[in-house]
Amino acid sequence: MTAARQRILSGAKPTADSLHLGNYIGAVRQWVDMQSQYDAVFFIPDLHAVTVDFEPGELARRTRTVAAQYIAAGIDPEQSIFFVQSHVPEHAELAWVLNCITGFGEASRMTQFKDKSAKAGADAATLGLFAYPTLMAADILLYQADLVPVGEDQRQHLELTRNLAQRFNARYGNVFTVPDATILKATAKIYDLQNPTAKMSKTGESPNGAIQLLEDPKIAAKRIKSAVTDAGTEIRFDADAKPGVSNLLTIYSTLTGRSVAELEEAYAGKMYGHLKVDLAEVVVDFLTPLRNRTNELLEDPAELDRLLARGAERARAIASVTLANAYDKMGFLPRAGR
Ligand code: TYM
């Protein structure tokens, strides 16, 4: 008998008009690489998207855009389970259970909550934002995921997920697999092009700091060419002393498959301008087909919706079993007729 394949699970929020290059390099790329060796679950966490200000008129379009970007990047919706979080009500249901075993202090220590609530102000920060990490834990635990490929900024949420799984299992009986984060050191944090000590994000201060996967590749090329570097001249990887140049080398290396050492050698004695011009071309060559394919997929929203509906059915078949098991262990009165 062959052992069951390990399961991986991950997702990216539909909080902007496009995913950015940090999402791709830090996460989506790993998913594509891993999906054939693992039993894979990829979803679009739209319930997470409403924990901060959002436009109701934009949410559905952004959700479909992320779905199209997953497929354009190489996620195979037949091979992998691919769905929208709000289509599977078990996520919100298990999140409630997890809220009831999470300490107030424990949730208060989540750095993303601290950052986001500080930005939003005390009244604008909602209970939903506070409970964001328990919903994320529910996303993972419902599917008994073994591995969760994410960027560095999700590490603390994964730690909490592990703690909650262990706590539930110890308190009520064994239900959940305790997952591990898969965070690739070299690409775990892609930095803002204008502020290379901050991570590239959907809400960075300068629009020039991020490369949007759906934007005009010519604009992306300009952003690479105007990336902040340093007053030196040497093209060398040194994340502390040369964060801007190091970030460009990481992006270059990931998109071409050439190692950083090989790039350092190839650019020895050359100027930053050379590196930027070449990388701008690499980025354009990467973005152009990805963007075209995404737009093509978006022209047929009915087909995307069909794939997502099919994925939600597959997801529910797994999630409903885990939730029923958790309820059972907790001693809820079973619903008659089930
Ligand atoms: P989100 O939508 O912010 O980002 C999606 C993925 O992209 C990674 N990422 C980065 N990686 C490297 N460099 C960057 N600059 C960068 N910016 C973002 C993130 O680490 C993430 O892996 N909470 C999650 C979504 C989520 C989730 C889940 C993920 C909800 N439920 C369950 C895994 C499992 C988030 O906000 O990702």
Whether residue 200 has its Cβ less than 6 Å from ligand 1: yes
Instruction: Answer yes or no: 202 catalytic.
Output: yes
pLDDT for res 204: 74
Whether residue 12 has its Cβ less than 6 Å from ligand 1: yes
Nearest Cα to 168, choosing from 138, 127, 143?
Answer: 138
Ligand 1 center–CA 151 separation, angstroms = 6
pLDDT for res 42: 98
Provide CB contacts within 8 A for 103, sequence distance 6+.
none
Nearest CA to ligand 1 atom 20: 151
- Give the strands of the sheet with 39-44, arranged side by side: 81-84, 39-44, 7-11, 147-149, 180-182
**Angle, in degrees to the nearest 10, between helices 132-141 and 111-120:** 140
First to last CA, the chain: 33
Q: Cα–Cα distance between 203 and 221 in angstroms, integer?
A: 20
Residues 75-80, mean pLDDT to the nearest whole number:
97
Q: What is the CA radius of gyration of the chain?
A: 21
Residue ranges in 208-300 assigned as alpha helix (H):
217-225, 243-256, 260-266, 272-298
- Residues 160-169 have pLDDT tens digits of 999 999 999 9
Q: Cα–Cα distance between 9 and 66 in angstroms, integer?
A: 16
Q: 13, 185, 189, 199: which is the annotated catalytic residue?
A: 199
Nearest atom within ligand 1 for CA of residue 48: 30
Residues 68-77, mean pLDDT to the nearest whole number:
98
Ligand 1 center–CA 123 separation, angstroms = 25
Choice from 153, 155, 156 to test ligand 1 binding pocket (greatest atom count within 8 A of CB): 153
Whether residue 85 has its Cβ less than 6 Å from ligand 1: no
C-alpha torsion sign, points 192, 198, 200, 204 = negative
pLDDT for res 4: 82
Instruction: Answer yes or no: 116 catalytic.
Output: yes
Ligand 1 center–CA 168 separation, angstroms = 25
User: What is the average pLDDT value for the chain, to the nearest integer?
Assistant: 96
Instruction: Answer yes or no: 329 catalytic.
Output: no
pTM over cut 0.95: yes
Beta bridge partners of 180: 147
Ligand 1 center–CA 271 separation, angstroms = 34
Beta bridge partners of 84: 44
3-state secondary structure of 227: coil
